[in-house]
Amino acid sequence: PLQCCINPSILSADFVNLEAELARIGNADAVHVDVMDNHFVPNLTIGLPVVERLQKVSPVPLDVHLMISDVDRWAPSYADAGVASVTFHVEASDAPIKLARELRARGAKAGMALRPATSVEPYLHMLSELDMLLIMTVEPGFGGQSFLDVVLPKIRRAREAIEGSGVDVAIQVDGGITEETITRAAEAGANVFVAGSAVYGKSSPADAIASLRDAGQR
């Protein structure tokens, strides 16, 4: 079976107590950090100074999801902060292959994200440049939305292409992941699962992570 990673999203955590919120998810594989600029998406969260501080105190690796415009300019600085992975939206990049190479050269895993309506086919040739493909299962911008089943065939095609070409690329899904929807995403071929409300919305985030991990094993 594919390895199953559960990456809670701090978008659903208490932004005034981020260090304490990280301590509640010590059994997670990584913490998903949503960076939004109120331009690429209609919401604003945190930027580089906060990510740099999180990197210094987090007990788990940082999985940074950049929902920002002009990402070719900004993403390398996040890699320089020492985070485990940096994921940029292909819709916001002028030169995705160049950017993925730059992230890897700076020591981060390179992730590329697709909005729900963005096709994967034009990017299958560049899978070897990536460590992770993030297939959004909601429109980026907000936590607490419903999982879009319409995206499942895209996950399936991406998984087939990855297996067919023998590259080692994780498929991350983000948005509306619950104990119910995670099984469909896993069955389609996803193996890294972001969950905001389904982790931080529970009284025990650690128990929620354990339950999601069981359910996400395909």
The site for Zn ion (CB under 5 A) is made up of 34, 65, 174
Among 96, 111, 175, 189, binds ligand DX5 (CB under 6 A): 175
What is the Cα–Cα distance from 5 to 194, expressed in whole angstroms? 8
For 115-177, strand residue ranges (E) read 132-136, 170-174
What is the Cα–Cα distance from 160 to 97, expressed in whole angstroms? 21
Among 144, 149, 160, 207, binds ligand DX5 (CB under 6 A): 144
64 binds ligand DX5 (CB under 6 A): no
| Residues in the annotated binding site | 9, 32, 34, 65, 141-144, 174-176, 196-197
Q: Which stretch binds ligand DX5 (CB under 6 A): 23-31, 49-57, 118-126, 191-199?
A: 191-199
* R_g of the chain, CA atoms, integer Å: 16
Closest CB to ligand DX5 among residues 197, 211? 197
Closest CB to ligand DX5 among residues 79, 194? 194
Closest CB to ligand DX5 among residues 9, 161? 9
Q: Which stretch binds ligand DX5 (CB under 6 A): 16-24, 70-78, 124-132, 133-141?
A: 133-141
Among 4, 12, 88, 169, binds ligand DX5 (CB under 6 A): 12
Q: Which residues are 36's β-sheet partners? A: 67
Tokens for 45, please give them: 């969260």
Active-site residue list:
34, 174
Interacting partner of 176 out of Zn ion, ligand DX5, none (Cβ under 5 to 8 A depending on kind): ligand DX5
Taking residue 183's Cβ as centre, other Cβ atoms within 10 Å add up to 14
What is the Cα–Cα distance from 149 to 127, expressed in whole angstroms? 23
What is the Cα–Cα distance from 93 to 101, expressed in whole angstroms? 13
Closest CB to ligand DX5 among residues 36, 169? 36
63 binds ligand DX5 (CB under 6 A): no
The sheet with strand 109-114 has its strands ordered as: 5-8, 192-195, 170-174, 132-136, 109-114, 85-89, 62-67, 31-36
176 binds ligand DX5 (CB under 6 A): yes
Tokens for 115, please give them: 């909005």
96 binds ligand DX5 (CB under 6 A): no
Taking residue 127's Cβ as centre, other Cβ atoms within 10 Å add up to 19
In the complex, the residues that contact ligand DX5 under the rule CB under 6 A are 9, 11-12, 32, 34, 65, 138, 140-145, 174-177, 194-198
